[in-house]
Structure 1
Amino acid sequence: MAVMKIDVDHVARIEGHGDIHLTVEDGVVTGCQMEVVESARLFEAMVVGRPFDEVPYIASRICGICSASHAVTDILAIERIFGVEVSDRTNALRELLLYGSFLQNHATHLFVFATPDFLGHKSVFPLASENRALYDGALALKALGNELCTKVGGRSIHPICAVVGGFTHEVGAEEYLKLADKMEAAMDFAEEAVDLIASFEVMDLQTEGDFLAMVAPEGYPVCGSDTARFVRAGYDFSAQDAEKEIEEYVIGHSAAFLARAARTGKPYMTSALSRINASWGQLGRRARYASARAGLRPPNLNPFMNNVAQAVELLDALDRCATICRRLAADEYEGGSAPVSFEVREGSGVGFTEAPRGALFHRITLDGKGRVRSANILTPTAQNIANMESDMAEVAQAFADAGRSSAAIKLEVEKLVRAYDPCLSCSVH
């Protein structure tokens, strides 16, 4: 019997630590594991007994890239418990803050983590000499995301201005106009990035899993909607029922929780590609045209195309953020952003946002004094691992069928893992 074993200790160019283990026997993949080796982080236990207003600050420490997403998601959960209704202006600022983390994450993932795979490099650093314009443009996009989060949230990571009921601080109209100018100036580079990422050759992989994303009657939502959709199965559910609709489970070879759709038993992907599949028609005109030119239109079932989807979202985010900033400067949103008054009460609620990597759910239960009784966090990467493992096996089998070498299989599987843009540190509870 011919046995090929492929082991990757600590996959490079992803967030967090994970190992890949593949076994191919007589040309058949008999073992495929994505082993998450991160230790338990205990954020859910950490907040038990804490007052509600401390929880968003603690939750933001789960991730340095998605910190705004975790903070806002907790705030939404707490506001549901208290029955808080915020202004249109506050909702606009929250959207702006979340898009800041999209710019931070997508620029890092696409240019630092993924692109070297397709340009024949082991890291991003050779780009500095080979393609200085691409290197500088990528860093500028990341810096713009940092600036946006700083101006709206008070810091580039771990925001301090977003609180239950509103914001404690807001910049002036002149700052919003400067941000809008910078967003618009970056759009040409972002559009070129879509074309570049789309030019990379990827294998024709069709995932067997589903796609999960937030949806709304109008718009391309990242917050403000309570409705999630399993795109291939074709049904919606309320985020308040997430723990009923999404089944979490454990496996022996990974420290992370895995997930599957409770109704169908299928694994799924939640990601930029999921959002494109769910809401492509709601992209801004320039992003939609760039997406169509890149060959990215729903239904697209190839997880490698998540790279292109993120590039499209970069362009779309710049466009949306420029519009929001100009509307904020012109005072076109109803209401102010100062925190509204509310009464503390006991109850349970789920916050739901689209983090850069996909759907994010936080459930919080509070007692009558506003202290946390229990919490549960369902991150995008935890939801993605089961589907990622399934797709890894498909990639390995296709390459084995073609008689490819172990080195070729290893590289292609690593490309797939990076296309998922996992944050393995966030996947453990």
Structure 2
Amino acid sequence: MSKTAISVDHIARVEGHGNVHLTIEGGQVVTCEMNVVEPARLFESMVVGRKFADVPYIASRVCGICSASHVITDILAIERVFGVEVTDRTRALRELLVYGSYLQNHASHLFVFAAPDFLDMASVFPLAQANPALFDSALGLKALGNQLCNLVGGRSIHPITAVVGGFTHEPTRDEYLAMADKLDAEREFARQVVDLFRSFTVPAIATQGDMLAMVADGRYPVCDSRDARFLGAGVTFDADEAAGAAGQIEEYEVSHSAALFARCRQTATPYFTGALARINASWGALSQEAKVAAAKAGLRPPERNPYLNNVAQAVEVLDALARCAELCRRLAEPDGEFAGDSQPVAFGVRAGKGTGFTEAPRGALFHELELDETGRVVHAAIMTPTAQNCANLEADMRVLAEKLVADGAEKPEVQLEVEKLVRAYDPCFSCSVH
């Protein structure tokens, strides 16, 4: 392979539009570009001048899958400005809502986007014909995520019940218990999903970048911690320190992408955020069932192969089912630890700046808001997981291509594996230009 050009315009089976361009010469990658070609969507400008109560529902439109995460992240930013402290019951409901989007996203990604790569299929439709039972079970898992979001958030996408200070509506005891039973019923299938994705053969590569995840002592946090950590650099910081001119995350422009790229400011290193980063950061806090399934599948920290983000998502599905079933049963106890209600607490409007932080299904999500004394938005900034991942994905594509060429791979194999790597990252290119 003296000189080879690989161009993939519009990567298939991903959210949004992205292109890949590689030039390989003499066994070396001389050009490696992850092109995000989506137009700017201007959500950050759209909310300027709007009242704080409107902002979460506007921002939720950034993504139809991660809408719950965008709502909760904006609410957390507003509560940071106003100094609002919510009840433990409200925190539990927010966790359920975010996990509902995990079930939606991971089921869709694993079976509609990723699985065909490893089953020699061009799309999910041959899978539906070849193995209808597997396909129907996957759709059932996705539907359960929809049901959980609908139960807690009032609808399956763009939730309406989560507001600053609490919730406007809460499920009944019977609804909690019925949902817990449904979640438990999916756990056997989820164990099979972990085994299925670990059975797929992937190239032995290791990401050259860092990893970023939310952290909390003794917990697997998704929306109730303010601490983020670069695992390789060992840098832990508060969400308010994430962005800005002196922030721990440095965003920068590249000529070949409409999305900003990102790197750790202290080390100038790109990084990965998502399920694999979360499992590396919080392995010890996984449910016992999920930990056993992951260990059986060979997924243990430190794991740096980005292809195994697929396996990590499968493990998170199993973990989420067990965690959410338990939460539903605890919330159903009238005199339990979550006694009381989730009605919005009283608060006062004031000027200030704050950052909300959650772990969206695809990775760390930050919303920075500055409000005036009337509660109107002066400035807004969003860092989505895919935008943060683009630089690291580009670096991993280079590592992968050079390894494959050194192993004697020809152009079709290199192109296929690069596409599989892109999909393993579970990107949402539409969200990256927010």
Query: Could you tell me which residue of structure 2 aligns to residue 247 of structure 1?
Result: 250
1:161 positional shift = 0.3
The C-alpha deviation readout for 1:403-422, integer Å capped at 9, x for no partner, is 21111000000010000000
310, 319, 323: which one aligns with 1:320: 323
331, 335, 346: which one aligns with 2:340: 335
The secondary structure found in structure 1 opposite 2:211 is strand
Query: Could you tell me which residue of structure 2 aligns to residue 271 of structure 1?
Result: 274
The C-alpha deviation readout for 1:97-129, integer Å capped at 9, x for no partner, is 000000000000001100000000010111122
Query: Could you tell me which residue of structure 1 aligns to residue 383 of structure 2?
Result: 378
Query: Could you tell me which residue of structure 2 aligns to residue 21 of structure 1?
Result: 21
Please give the alpha-carbon distance, in whole angstroms, between the structure 1 residues aligned to 2:271 and 2:128: 36
Residue 361, structure 1, aligned to residue 338, structure 2: no
The code of the aligned residue for 1:278 comes to A
The C-alpha deviation readout for 1:285-338, integer Å capped at 9, x for no partner, is 000000000000000011011000000000000000100111111132043111
Q: 419-428 or 230-239: which moved more?
A: 230-239
1:137 positional shift = 0.8
Please give the alpha-carbon distance, in whole angstroms, between the structure 2 residues aligned to 1:22 and 1:427: 21
Query: Could you tell me which residue of structure 2 aligns to residue 402 of structure 1?
Result: 407
Aligned residue-pair number: 429
Root-mean-square deviation (CA, aligned residues, Å) is 0.8
The secondary structure found in structure 2 opposite 1:126 is helix
Query: Could you tell me which residue of structure 2 aligns to residue 185 of structure 1?
Result: 185
Please give the alpha-carbon distance, in whole angstroms, between the structure 2 residues aligned to 1:321 and 1:28: 47
Please give the alpha-carbon distance, in whole angstroms, between the structure 1 residues aligned to 2:200 and 2:122: 16
The C-alpha deviation readout for 1:367-397, integer Å capped at 9, x for no partner, is 0000000000000000000000000011111
The code of the aligned residue for 1:254 comes to S
Whether the 8 Å contact between 1:66 and 1:101 is mirrored in structure 2 is: yes
Q: Which runs of 5+ in 2 are unaligned?
A: none
Query: Could you tell me which residue of structure 2 aligns to residue 392 of structure 1?
Result: 397
The secondary structure found in structure 2 opposite 1:125 is helix
The code of the aligned residue for 2:7 comes to D
Please give the alpha-carbon distance, in whole angstroms, between the structure 1 residues aligned to 2:273 and 2:407: 30
Whether the 8 Å contact between 1:11 and 1:19 is mirrored in structure 2 is: yes
Please give the alpha-carbon distance, in whole angstroms, between the structure 2 residues aligned to 1:159 and 1:279: 28
The secondary structure found in structure 2 opposite 1:360 is strand
Residue 55, structure 1, aligned to residue 55, structure 2: yes
Query: Could you tell me which residue of structure 1 aligns to residue 156 of structure 2?
Result: 156
Residues 97-246 of structure 1 mapped to structure 2, 5 A cutoff: 97-243=97-243, 244-246=247-249
Please give the alpha-carbon distance, in whole angstroms, between the structure 1 residues aligned to 2:63 and 2:365: 12
Whether the 8 Å contact between 1:88 and 1:335 is mirrored in structure 2 is: no
Please give the alpha-carbon distance, in whole angstroms, between the structure 1 residues aligned to 2:218 and 2:56: 28
Please give the alpha-carbon distance, in whole angstroms, between the structure 1 residues aligned to 2:290 and 2:2: 48
Whether the 8 Å contact between 2:299 and 2:312 is mirrored in structure 1 is: yes
1:216 positional shift = 0.3
1:27 positional shift = 2.1
Please give the alpha-carbon distance, in whole angstroms, between the structure 1 residues aligned to 2:36 and 2:45: 20
1:171 positional shift = 1.5
The secondary structure found in structure 2 opposite 1:219 is coil
Please give the alpha-carbon distance, in whole angstroms, between the structure 2 residues aligned to 1:72 and 1:44: 16
The C-alpha deviation readout for 1:212-262, integer Å capped at 9, x for no partner, is 000001210001101001111112111110011000000000000000000
The secondary structure found in structure 2 opposite 1:275 is helix
Please give the alpha-carbon distance, in whole angstroms, between the structure 1 residues aligned to 2:313 and 2:352: 36
Please give the alpha-carbon distance, in whole angstroms, between the structure 1 residues aligned to 2:376 and 2:128: 50
Query: Could you tell me which residue of structure 1 aligns to residue 309 of structure 2?
Result: 306
The code of the aligned residue for 1:126 comes to P
The secondary structure found in structure 2 opposite 1:252 is coil
Q: Which runs of 5+ in 1 are unaligned?
A: none
Please give the alpha-carbon distance, in whole angstroms, between the structure 1 residues aligned to 2:339 and 2:406: 60
Whether the 8 Å contact between 2:38 and 2:258 is mirrored in structure 1 is: yes
The C-alpha deviation readout for 1:169-206, integer Å capped at 9, x for no partner, is 11101111110000000000000100000000011111
Query: Could you tell me which residue of structure 2 aligns to residue 427 of structure 1?
Result: 432
The code of the aligned residue for 2:325 comes to A
Whether the 8 Å contact between 2:218 and 2:284 is mirrored in structure 1 is: no
Please give the alpha-carbon distance, in whole angstroms, between the structure 2 residues aligned to 1:129 and 1:37: 33
282, 285, 295: which one aligns with 1:282: 285
Residues 347-358 of structure 1 mapped to structure 2, 5 A cutoff: 347-358=352-363
Q: 244-253 or 399-408: which moved more?
A: 399-408
Whether the 8 Å contact between 1:166 and 1:338 is mirrored in structure 2 is: yes
Residues 28-67 of structure 1 mapped to structure 2, 5 A cutoff: 28-67=28-67
Please give the alpha-carbon distance, in whole angstroms, between the structure 1 residues aligned to 2:204 and 2:413: 16
TM superposition outliers: structure 1 runs of 4+ over 2 Å: none
Q: TM-score, normalised by structure 1?
A: 0.99
The code of the aligned residue for 1:116 comes to P
1:2 positional shift = 3.0
Please give the alpha-carbon distance, in whole angstroms, between the structure 1 residues aligned to 2:63 and 2:340: 31
Q: 300-309 or 21-30: which moved more?
A: 21-30
The code of the aligned residue for 1:193 comes to V
Please give the alpha-carbon distance, in whole angstroms, between the structure 2 residues aligned to 1:320 and 1:27: 47
